[in-house]
Amino acid sequence: MNVILYLIIFAMGITFGSFCTLAVYRIPLRENILNKRSFCVECEHKLSFWDMIPVFSYLALGGKCRYCGKKIRPRYFILEICSGFVFVLFAFSFQLNIYSFQIDKYMYLFFGMLYFTALFILAGIDKEKVRVENSLLIYLTIVNAVYMIYLYIVEHASMYRYVMYLMIICVLVAINTYYLHKKAKNNYTIGILILSMLMILFTYEGQFVFTVILTLLSIAFDMLLQKIKQNRKKCKKVNAKDKINVPIAFYLCVSNVIVVILTNIYYIYR
């Protein structure tokens, strides 16, 4: 029976992953992500139900659009598969078991799915645009707030740490709003700080410390690889702009997902 449970979670994961691919494409363009029907980005033909089944439609169509024959970017397939496995690993990390129904674990799974979905979208947008979307930060704040209320009412958790971080977030949001009013654009650094506070709220300080360490190691490793590639190609000087545009939020989100799952496994299975 546990196999069936995890298959359901995997199916939910690839469905959320499919939504993430849509959101990553539409949110930067300020397009509707809920009501507007999906379409091929090449020929703009509206997709049918059979064209939008996560993972399976991509495989059945051979990675090409049914209508124009153009290749579908593999990132859609990769994100759907990764999302499915992440959801399964997350459930496994705290021993979700169909034979012992524990409401706190199912609620943690539910809010974790909402939390990870936001991280996936943030990571996808930042990877391409090097930008932290305010709408997603607002969404994450709402998810955290509802989860805090649940913890306080049902599990009688202390609210002091949550209130403290929420106050910090409010100050950062005020600064970001002022900067947006002055410069007509978001401040990337402040966006990263708000995202960091929201990560601490949902996880814990220790997990966030490991997230930062893994993020720094990932960035350093990626920059080293880029440097090696440039030396092999004997490239000319790299523009200063290229050096600055490191998608920090991308690495932060991916690292946080990995750390949450690994630390859960460590604490439960040790």
156: phi then psi, degrees, rounded to nearest 5: 55, 40
Cα 246 from Cα 216, distance rounded (Å): 11
Task: Read off the tokens for 86.
Answer: 């992440």
Q: Which of 64-73, 100-109, 139-148, 165-174 has the highest mean predicted lDDT (pLDDT)?
A: 139-148
198: phi then psi, degrees, rounded to nearest 5: -65, -35
In Å, how far from its chain's centre is CA 11? 18
Q: What is the pLDDT of residue 234?
A: 61
Kindly report, residue by residue over 10-27, the tens digit of the pLDDT: 999 999 998 898 899 888
| pTM score, whole prediction | 0.88
Output the CA–CA distances (angstroms, integers) from residue 16 to 76, 112, 177, 201, in the order listed: 12, 12, 30, 22
Cα 210 from Cα 251, distance rounded (Å): 13
Q: Is the pLDDT of residue 242 over 50?
A: no
Share above pLDDT 90 across residues of the chain, in percent, rounded to a whole number: 41
34: phi then psi, degrees, rounded to nearest 5: -115, -45
Tell me the β-bridge partners of 39: 46
Kindly report, residue by residue over 196-229, the tens digit of the pLDDT: 999 999 998 999 999 999 999 999 998 888 888 7
Output the CA–CA distances (angstroms, integers) from residue 235 to 197, 230, 231, 243, 252, in the order listed: 39, 5, 6, 14, 29
Mean pLDDT of the chain: 86
Task: Give the relative orientation of helices 205-233 and 188-202 as an angle to the nearest 10 degrees.
Answer: 140
Confidence of residue 232 (pLDDT cuts 50, 70, 90): confident
The position carrying tokens 């059979």 is 50
Amino acid type, 60: A
Sign, CA torsion 150/153/154/157:
positive
Kindly report, residue by residue over 25-81, the tens digit of the pLDDT: 888 888 887 777 777 777 777 777 777 788 888 888 888 878 887 888 888 888 899
5 or 41: which leads in pLDDT:
5
37 Cβ contact partners less than 8 Å away, ≥ 6 residues apart: 46, 47
Q: What is the pLDDT of residue 239?
A: 52
Q: Is the pLDDT of residue 143 over 90?
A: yes
Q: Is the pLDDT of residue 240 over 70?
A: no
Cα 252 from Cα 119, distance rounded (Å): 9
84 Cβ contact partners less than 8 Å away, ≥ 6 residues apart: 10, 11, 13, 14, 17, 54, 55
Kindly report, residue by residue over 94-125, the tens digit of the pLDDT: 988 888 778 889 999 999 999 999 999 999 99
Cα 174 from Cα 147, distance rounded (Å): 23
